[in-house]
Amino acid sequence: MANDELKQAWKIPEPTLRRLPWYLAFLKLMKGKGETFVSSTQIAKEINVDPSQVAKDLSFVNISGKTRVGYDICALVDVLEDFLGFTAQHKAFLFGVGSLGAALLQDTGLNQYGLEIVAGFDVRKELAGTVVNGIPVFHLDDFPAKQKEFGATIGVITVPVDKAQEVTEQIIAGGIKALWNFTPFRIRVPEHIVVQNTSMYAHLAVMFNRLNSINH
Amino acid sequence: MANDELKQAWKIPEPTLRRLPWYLAFLKLMKGKGETFVSSTQIAKEINVDPSQVAKDLSFVNISGKTRVGYDICALVDVLEDFLGFTAQHKAFLFGVGSLGAALLQDTGLNQYGLEIVAGFDVRKELAGTVVNGIPVFHLDDFPAKQKEFGATIGVITVPVDKAQEVTEQIIAGGIKALWNFTPFRIRVPEHIVVQNTSMYAHLAVMFNRLNSINH
């Protein structure tokens, strides 16, 4: 418990980390329109968040606004992009070049946000040696060798549900530190491994349910 | 306030809706292995959630377990798939056939989870008339006419950030009831419209931050 609290103290809250990219998207829009300064009240109004929340969220970032004029937009965009890790390149491997996996290899947007997928892996022999959107696909057996070559820190998991845990363990054994799990399976990992779940199907379920609620 | 509370009473909590697909994925695995019954304790252990939470979550679904033997897996899988909306087909239009948009059109997995994307729209004239993964792409100007033809209820938004709000308003004016927003922009909608935000870049930010934390 005490250990958990200690952790929380230096950790930026996840809701803050999830809101900061919203602020960033809005700030980039304003920058594009030639605006130079923005107040936390303006951001709050646009994003539909409490102004005190915006100020609190931005207090985690190393920038301060000026009384009356607010934040320098250009500086805030730079600081936020850097803070959120979007300016660094994080090397990643993608596991499972199926429908969703291949789709993610196609998405060049991830690259602009700091995720550089350098290779894909699959157990299907016919996929080994193919290239998707310039990214080479290898057989899963080649992962340890390729990891020595590339030194990826992130693993994107898009394998079938029944392989999720097995592949997770292989990935971690290979030295990958963070897992971006797109499967609806709740993977189990040692404490020092970072897991980010993005279950698109869970989001679909929430949307369907809300949609049915308004129709009844 | 009273109105909000009233709403909450018949609304299934979002965390529950997000956990149910995890249970479903695990149950399908067990079913595949030939298992017939499962207890909430087993599910809880596997998913790493409190057993009382599992029982509470499943109480929203119309099924009851038997003392000692637990839940009938086949029945629970069917009920959950139905409850989550994965067995119905929800017609959707996708707006913005860029990198991410085209990638989502490629993902046939969405179809298996009840989302049937029947058409894509884009403002780029050269994309009109093309077909991605069997799905036709039209010019955005054709949306009202195509909406009369297809009657989609869901709009998937993958347009650039600076077009997100404008396109949102067009989509709603065209009669779409729920928006799946993949842009990092916080779109504003009338109260009766359902919005589900899936900001992959926000998830990336959380992952990068946690990754940096363990390295320091």
pLDDT one-digit tens code per residue, A110-143: 998 999 999 999 999 999 999 999 999 999 999 9
**Alpha-carbon distance A130 to A140, whole Å?**
13
Per-residue pLDDT, averaged over B98-120, amounts to: 93
- CA B21, B22, B26 angle in degrees (round to 5)? 115
* Mean pLDDT value of segment B77-95: 95
- Would the pLDDT of B4 be above 70? no
Looking at residue A87, what DSSP letter applies?
A: S
Calpha distance B95→B163 (Å, rounded): 10
Least confident of A62-71, A72-81, B103-112: A62-71
**d(C-alpha A120, C-alpha B159), whole Å:** 26
CB proximity A37 to B under 8 Å: no
> What is residue A138's three-state secondary structure?
strand
pLDDT on residue A1: 36
Q: What is the CA radius of gyration of chain A?
A: 20
Say yes or no for a CB contact (<8 Å) between A48 and B10: no
Task: Report the chain B residue with the minimal C-alpha distance to residue A197.
Answer: B203
Q: Is A80 at the interface with chain B, CB within 8 A?
A: no
pTM above 0.90, yes or no: no
CA A132 to chain centre: 21
In this structure, what token pair is assigned to residue A76?
């805030």
Token output for A103: 């789709």
Q: Which residues of B touch A104 (CB under 8 A)?
A: 103
Q: Comparing C-alpha atoms, which of B189, B187, B143, B191 is closest to residue B164?
A: B187
Query: DSSP secondary structure string, A146-198?
Result: HHHHH---EEEE-S-GGGHHHHHHHHHHTT--EEEE-SSS-----TTSEEEE-
Q: Mean pLDDT over residues B19-39, rounded?
A: 94
Mean pLDDT of chain A: 91
Q: What spatial distance separates the first Cα and last Cα of chain B, rounded to whole Å?
A: 44
Angle at CA B197, nearest 5°, toward B191 and B203?
A: 155
* Closest-CA residue of chain B to A206: B17
| Confidence at residue A216, expressed as pLDDT on a 0 to 100 scale | 58
Q: Distance between CA A43 and CA A62 in Å, rounded?
A: 17
Selected for mutation to probe chain A from B42, B204, B213, B216 (highest A CB count within 10 Å) is B204
Chain B residues 144-163 with CB within 8 Å of chain A: 153-154, 161-162
Q: What is the mean pLDDT of residues A142-156?
A: 97
Beta bridge mates, A136? A131
Banded model confidence at residue A66, pLDDT cuts 50, 70, 90: confident
ipTM over 0.85: yes
On the CB side of B129, CA atoms within 13 Å amount to 2
| Chain B CB within 8 Å of residue A102 CB | yes
pLDDT in tens, B177-188: 999 999 999 999
**Cα–Cα distance, A188 to A171 (Å, whole number):** 12
pLDDT at A60 over 80: yes
* Contact (Cβ atoms closer than 8 angstroms) between residue A182 and residue A174: no
For residue A113, what pLDDT is reported?
92
Which DSSP symbol is given to B13?
P
The predicted structure's pLDDT at residue A10: 54
Query: What confidence tier does B3 reach under pLDDT thresholds 50, 70, 90?
Result: very low
Mean pLDDT calculated for residue range A180-199: 94
pLDDT of B108: 87
For B142-171, the pLDDT digits (tens) are: 999 999 999 999 999 999 999 999 999 999
pLDDT given at position B10: 55
